Chains A and B, each alone.
Chain A
Amino acid sequence: MNAPATGNSPGMILPMAKEIPSGAGEFRLPSTDQPFVLGTVVTAVGPVPQIGSELFWRDLRGRYLVRWNIGRDCYSVEPGLYALGHPRDDSPVMVTANYKLTFDLLRQTLSGRDLWILVLDTKGINVWCAAGKGTFGTEELLDRIQASRLAEVVSHRRLIVPQLGAPGLAAFEIQKYAGFRVVYGPVLMEDLPAFLENDCRATPEMRIKKFPLKERLVLVPVEVMQGLQQGIPLMLFFLLVAGLAGDGPFLNAALVHGLPPALSVLTGIIAGTIVTPILLPWIPGRPFSVKGALAGLVLFFLVFIVSGADGSGYFMLEPISWLLITLAVSSWLGMAFTGASTFTSLNGVRKEMLRAMPAQFAGLVLGIGLWGASFWLG
């Protein structure tokens, strides 16, 4: 199997038609030795790997694992030019990232069509994130056009680039240095067929990034895993300290004094990583830290009061400490969801964090302090 092309980009020395900087943009087609490659399509520059729209069980298994945050860092396809179906020299060229999930969704969405797919080397990261980093960018696209000798494969000079890749690349520079006109496709991949049928014109709605429930739900598992990663050590801390410091046998003390604060952490995780994302538009407040805290507050009362574990029998400080712990955790994890959301700005998040983090930290420290103090006072 060929080594995947590396992004040895030429810096700002841009590859002009016949002056190829040595090393950069060297002719290379993707390997056919990849599980999803069906065969090859003969072109003016050689055999281009052909792919289909059908996904096999291993594609689906990979998608499932990625959703659950398992091994998602090494999930890529080799960059370069692919043929979907039986494209000709006048077929459209779609540009995408080499994140396997994106690649799979694209070929599925375009099922039944014949076109070229130019895969950029984004190090296995999706279009949006890679555009933010600049790996889905002007230089990489120029290199990839050159390396695939795209100008010899197709007779037209038009590339369809996902709109969410626009933060990384400048259409006017692609036109200037490679002679290809960039047409920005719709935000959502599912609008691509309609876009293609409408002579590559997007309706205004296709240009707007929304954040519907369906999309938020997909993000929940990854948020939960990250919340658990941070929360489980804290839960173990409460169980362990309570078991060692409380009266009577370890297990008994751990259950009486350690389980409630551990449950508080869990309540905070559920509120911040499941309730907040799902109910995002309906929870009052603009800052995500406020939304998270409100979700935590409500869930805390549901869990601790409605379930009957209302803290009677405990010294009063202890239930207060549980509430503080839940609020701190849910507010923090709710705020973390800004990273996955599609409408929060860098300066907004910065401002929110500078205000919320001291409160979250104080809440957690005070919560742990009160909980500890209740051992001596209670």
Chain B
Amino acid sequence: MAELRYLEDVVTLECDRDRCIGCGMCSVVCPHGVFVLEERKAVMAARNLCMECGACMRNCPSGAITVEAGEGCVRGVINELLGIEGPCC
């Protein structure tokens, strides 16, 4: 089956190598295999597959990961453009 991929170079995911303590939690919780552990440090091996769910950031005990987490849905973005609070689902 053809691979499902979304847009390239749009996500806000960043990982601070110096703060990483190599616990590996980010690679456990990520549903798209974005992180791998190399030499006891987390590396973003597939950054473009990130869906900005925020699981890695939330579960990183050292605060090494930042991402603008949110649900990527049309209604949510429209609400945001209109300046009203409204969730996706």
Contacts and interface: CB of A to CB of B under 8 A. Distances in A.
Contact of B68 (A126, A167, A346): A346
A343 B77 contact: no
Interface of B: 1-8, 10-12, 25, 28-33, 49-55, 58-59, 61, 68-78, 80, 87-89
Contacts of A350: 72, 77, 80
Interface in A318-377: 335-336, 338-353
A333 B38 CA distance: 42
Contacts of A341: 4
B74 A133 contact: no
B11 A348 contact: yes
Contacts of A338: 72-74
A209 B6 CA distance: 14
Contacts of A348: 6-7, 10-11, 72
Contacts of B8: 286
Contact of A343 (B51, B69, B75): B51
A132 B4 contact: no
Interface residues on A, range: 35 or more
27 contacts: A132-B70, A163-B29, A163-B55, A166-B55, A166-B58, A166-B59, A167-B69, A170-B58, A209-B32, A281-B1, A281-B2, A281-B4, A287-B7, A335-B74, A336-B73, A339-B73, A339-B74, A339-B76, A339-B89, A343-B5, A343-B32, A345-B7, A345-B11, A346-B52, A351-B10, A352-B7, A353-B77
Contacts of B50: 345
B73 A170 contact: no
Given A169-B58, A207-B33, A343 B71 contact: no
A204 B35 CA distance: 12
A343 B73 contact: no
A167 B5 contact: no
Contacts of B30: 207
Contacts of B59: 166, 170-172
Given A345-B51, A349-B77, 20 more contacts: A131-B53, A132-B69, A167-B54, A172-B25, A172-B61, A184-B28, A184-B29, A207-B33, A210-B4, A212-B1, A336-B73, A339-B88, A340-B73, A343-B6, A345-B11, A346-B72, A346-B76, A346-B77, A350-B77, A351-B10
Interface centre among A166, A169, A211, A212 (most CB of B within 10 A): A166
